[in-house]
A and B are shown apart, each in its own frame.
Chain A
Amino acid sequence: MPQRLDYLIETASQTAGPYVHIGLAPGAAGFSIFGQELGQTIAAPEVPGERIRVEGLVLDGTGAPVRDALLEVWQADAAGIYPHPEDPRHAEVHPGFRGWGRIITDFDTGLWSFETVRPGPVPGRPGAVQAPHISVWLVARGINIGLNTRIYFPEDAALHAADPVLSMIEQRHRAATLVAARTGPGAYRFDIRLQGDGETVFLDI
């Protein structure tokens, strides 16, 4: 017998279920309990940058909107800096910029939306940049392990060709599933298709 590796093993995921709101967004479940719910403000109004609003649906394999999903987003600020100690420039981030938000779908329509500042490009491999993007993590009843994807912006098409994620998508037409559609000044639409025609590219990060 060789020596034994003594790593621990990651705890297995289980679905967030239909009542995820109780734990992560109790106001949506129908009651008030905490002094403040987390993840409601990604970028306070005084944070520098272009204000944007992103909305969309999560659609299941039959084309129906998923009305009990919860999304979390994580992004850099307008200068491309993450408010995290491992970003070498994190001390420059405005104190009103959290970079993280929690978004739930409407129980009737399935529509979700959030407001933030448009992120800047962030570093990729040494010497390279990644196109501006917002990272997304999606959970719901019927989703056994959180799904990761990214939201990119159509204005940055020139940076998309060299982006380390977009450029790795083998079926080129599927890269479009990660690019939001501009619907007006500072307004974007990003529908997430869990399955079937136009299935969103999900990432193993």
Chain B
Amino acid sequence: MKPAAYFQRNRDIHPPALARGYKSSIPRSPRQALLSIDQTISEITGPAFGHGDIGPLDHDLIRNFATTGDPVGSRIIVHGHVRDENGRPVPGTLVEVWQANASGRYRHRKDTYFGALDPNFGGCGRTITDENGYYVFRTVKPGPYPWRNHVNSWRPAHIHLSVFGRAFCQRLITQMYFEGDPLIPLCPIVRTIPDPAAIDRLIAPLDLNASIPLDSLAYRFDIVLRGRRSTLFENRLEGN
């Protein structure tokens, strides 16, 4: 029996491969059309992860690299749900994050920005969503930083997120921005997305109800992965 397919990806809400304002996309964007294929078992399956794959502190960026004390910066909680386009929770899926520290500096051998490294901050974390598709990280708010796109280009504060879902065709990497950041509308990477509403959905609001008094502010970031068709009836297979 043919497996039920995932909904076609709506490319109108995603950035096109070529977005001239983001210069790195110019030599790295395919020029030919993507080949649209019928999903097969290769696309509707994908890797599974369990708690044996990760450690108990992996989701806590304040503690998972620290040796001499807590990292410097505004302590925040980032939390939300992973759902599919049908609104159903996606439980048990791996969510990985990475970010700059409070100075806007990445712990990466290729980052040469002179914003200070923080000896107690690695800048990455990972977790697995619970039975309701819920995830939570604790971290410090990343700083904005300059980059060489055009002269005086700055990235808004952001956290990178990588999500798997259940199927290889649901794989997604995105970036979360923070409500109120004036750099968001100026950013060439944000502006690769043609749909203003799709940009708004990448901006996490302050979630005061989830913050911890006298400790941490919270931001909420819900993630939506591709939804899936209902299982097909046997007698409707032809033409589907």
Contact = CB atoms under 8 A, between A and B. Distances in A.
Main secondary structure of the interface of B (DSSP, over half): loop
A22 B202 contact: no
Contacts of A140: 28
A13 interface: yes
A33 B124 contact: yes
B15 A8 contact: no
B160 A23 contact: yes
Main secondary structure of the interface of A (DSSP, over half): loop
Interface in A1-34: 6-24, 26, 29-31, 33-34
A26 B42 contact: no
Contacts of A99: 47
Nearest to B171: A137
B85 interface: yes
A10 B173 CA distance: 12
A86 B202 contact: no
Interface residues of B, number: 87
Interface string B157-198: 000101000001101111100000000000001101101001
Nearest to A199: B32
A66 B28 contact: yes
A14 to B, nearest CB: 4
Contact of A19 (B1, B110, B201): B110
Given A8-B87, A164-B38, A205-B43, A195 B31 contact: yes
A119 to B, nearest CB: 10
Contact of A8 (B37, B85, B109): B85
Contacts of B75: none
Contacts of B223: 11
A139 B172 CA distance: 10
B236 to A, nearest CB: 13
B30 A145 contact: no
A97 to B, nearest CB: 11
Interface residues on A, range: 35 or more
Contacts of A164: 37-38, 40
Contact of B109 (A29, A126, A142): A29
Interface of A: 6-24, 26, 29-31, 33-36, 38, 60-62, 64, 66, 68, 72, 74, 76, 82-87, 98-100, 107, 122-126, 130, 133, 135, 137, 139-148, 150, 164-165, 168-169, 174, 194-196, 199-205
5 contacts: A8-B87, A20-B160, A29-B109, A135-B43, A204-B36
Of all A-B residue pairs in the complex, the 3 with the closest CB atoms, nearest first, are A23-B98, A142-B24, A100-B47
Given A15-B189, A107-B110, 20 more contacts: A8-B83, A10-B85, A13-B15, A14-B173, A15-B25, A15-B192, A16-B162, A18-B110, A19-B160, A20-B173, A21-B108, A22-B108, A33-B65, A60-B27, A61-B29, A85-B48, A140-B28, A141-B28, A199-B32, A202-B35
